[in-house]
């Protein structure tokens, strides 16, 4: 029993351990402060992580940054993906920006779309967003021009510049300053009426909707059905997008691990299904046993969280597997990214079918769980043979 629990808990840790071992062979000590100097040029994708990360140079590719304090003041001729406690973006990014942080300040020239999630987000009047803005924050201030639509879910938002398209917002409080201009429709869901100050312009229609909870009290049965149908579709789309993003990150950062897992599905499909079914049956039993022992409660929840994460990743790996099968059937030789996209689309369509959908979802989880377990088992034995664990 002890070996089974330890092995389950190690399923996610082992790939990260492998990465750390490889990195340790190249770097005895990782710097806590990472700086790309102003005169430095990187002609490929750039990755940096540390207590503080400063990008002042030029990256001719995508940039992936993570740190407690992240500053971007250089040029990125590609996409920027950044996560940090405090994030300042004041350089030039030719493509898209995706940022997550506790506090985010953007004064940059962004060529395409901006997606942000954080506690406080401030777009200063020095910034310029060429495409659309998608935000999920506690407080959002938009004093920069936005080229296209604005779609947000925010506690408190202030708009103080031109929005080139329409605005769709779920907010606690919405304020338009005298300098605000919405070129399309303004549609918002809120308990409170928007504060549209004198001088602010909305060129399209303004529609104030009550939040779903209040709307349901006043809605007729047909409208309630429509609300739930729309919410279900929105969740499906959000789930698809998150799975796509996570899948692309897996393929980017763990290409070998991803390829090995897919190979297990191809070479051992029945073994994967059988092992996945066994895991699905044993995990709740082991969880309850550990829960009863009291001392095993921490391990029980580690096991549960690990199981849920792997079950989620299973869908992604199986989607890549499905996508590759379809592409090979048509004689296409495109890469894993397209296989992931195609596989997720096929999976999403099939799971929409009544009765069949839930069955397929369950089989996908079982198949993926088994494949991940078998791959990790082989990987674990390889590390053991090299005395790395």
Strand partners, 67: 50, 84
Average pLDDT over every residue of 131-157 = 89
As a whole number of angstroms, the distance between CA 144 and CA 141 comes to 9
Higher pLDDT, 242 or 48: 48
pTM metric for this prediction: 0.54
Give the percent of the chain with pLDDT over 70: 82
HSE at residue 164, side-chain half, CA atoms within 13 A, is 13
As a whole number of angstroms, the distance between CA 152 and CA 236 comes to 18
Residue 235 pLDDT more than 80?
Answer: no
As a whole number of angstroms, the distance between CA 295 and CA 330 comes to 55
Handedness of CA 207, 208, 212, 218 (dihedral sign): negative
pLDDT the model gives residue 363: 87
3-state secondary structure 302-352: HHHHHHHHHHHHHHHHHHHHHHHHHHHHCCCCCCHHHHHHHHHHHHHHHHC
pLDDT the model gives residue 273: 85
- pLDDT tens track for 64-88: 887 778 999 999 999 998 877 789 9
As a whole number of angstroms, the distance between CA 266 and CA 289 comes to 34
pLDDT the model gives residue 233: 53
pLDDT the model gives residue 113: 93
pLDDT the model gives residue 389: 57
Q: State the average pLDDT for the chain.
A: 80
Report helix, strand or coil for 25. helix
Give the best-scoring range by mean pLDDT among 102-111, 282-291, 351-360: 102-111
Average pLDDT over every residue of 305-330 = 83
**In the chain, where are the structural domains located?**
2-7+220-385, 35-210
pLDDT grade, residue 21 (50/70/90)?
A: very low
**Rg (the chain; Cα; Å):** 24
Q: Are 91 and 77 in contact (CB under 8 A)?
A: no
Tokens 């004689």 belong to 331
Nearest to 280 by CA among 184, 351, 368, 387: 368
Numbers of helices and strands, H then E, in the chain: 8, 21
Going by the DSSP 8-state scheme, the letter that residue 209 receives in this structure is E
Residue 51 pLDDT more than 50?
Answer: yes
pLDDT the model gives residue 89: 95
Residue 215 pLDDT more than 60?
Answer: no
Q: Are strands 41-42 and 58-59 parallel, antiparallel or unpaired?
A: parallel
pLDDT the model gives residue 24: 39
- pLDDT tens track for 297-316: 778 788 888 888 888 888 88
As a whole number of angstroms, the distance between CA 317 and CA 315 comes to 6
Residue 290 pLDDT more than 90?
Answer: no
Report helix, strand or coil for 72. strand
Weakest mean pLDDT among 30-34, 52-56, 136-140, 266-270: 30-34
Residue 140 pLDDT more than 70?
Answer: yes
Give the best-scoring range by mean pLDDT among 100-104, 164-168, 309-313, 336-340: 164-168
Going by the DSSP 8-state scheme, the letter that residue 293 receives in this structure is T
Nearest to 383 by CA among 22, 54, 8: 22
Residue 23 pLDDT more than 50?
Answer: no
């Amino acid at each position: 029993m002890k070996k089974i629990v330890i092995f389950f808990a190690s399923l996610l840790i082992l790939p990260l351990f492998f990465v750390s071992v490889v990195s340790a062979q190249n770097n005895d000590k990782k710097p806590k402060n990472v700086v790309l100097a102003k005169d430095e040029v990187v002609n490929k994708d750039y990755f940096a992580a540390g207590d503080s990360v400063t990008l002042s140079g030029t990256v001719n590719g995508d940039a992936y940054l993570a740190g407690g304090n992240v500053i971007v003041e250089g040029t990125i001729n590609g996409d920027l993906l950044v996560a940090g406690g405090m994030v300042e973006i004041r350089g030039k990014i030719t493509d898209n920006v995706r940022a997550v942080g506790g506090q985010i300040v953007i004064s940059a020239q962004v060529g395409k779309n901006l997606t942000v999630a954080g506690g406080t987000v401030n777009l200063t009047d020095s910034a310029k967003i060429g495409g659309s803005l998608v935000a999920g924050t506690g407080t959002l201030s938009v004093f920069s021009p936005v080229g296209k639509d604005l779609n947000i879910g925010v506690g408190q938002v202030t708009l103080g510049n031109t929005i080139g398209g329409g605005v769709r917002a779920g907010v606690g409080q919405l304020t338009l300053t005298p300098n605000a201009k919405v070129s399309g429709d303004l549609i918002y869901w809120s308990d409170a009426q928007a504060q549209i100050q004198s001088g602010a312009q909305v060129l399209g229609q303004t529609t104030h909707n009550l939040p779903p909870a209040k709307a349901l009290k006043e809605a007729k049965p047909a409208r309630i059905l429509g609300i739930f149908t729309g919410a279900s579709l929105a969740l499906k789309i959000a789930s698809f997008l998150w799975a796509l993003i996570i899948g692309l990150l897996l393929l980017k950062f763990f290409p070998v691990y991803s390829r090995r897992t897919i190979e297990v599905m191809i070479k051992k499909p029945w073994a994967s299904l059988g092992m996945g079914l066994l895991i699905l049956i044993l995990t709740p039993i082991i969880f309850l046993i550990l829960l009863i022992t009291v001392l095993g409660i921490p391990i029980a929840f580690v096991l549960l969280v690990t199981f849920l994460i792997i079950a989620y990743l299973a869908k992604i790996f199986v989607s890549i597997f499905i996508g590759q099968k379809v592409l090979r059937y048509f004689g296409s030789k495109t890469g894993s990214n397209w296989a992931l996209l195609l596989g997720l689309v096929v999976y999403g369509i099939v799971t929409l079918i009544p009765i069949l959908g839930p069955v397929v979802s369950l089989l996908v989880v079982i198949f993926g769980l088994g494949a991940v377990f078998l791959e990790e088992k082989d990987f674990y034995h390889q590390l053991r043979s090299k005395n790395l664990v």
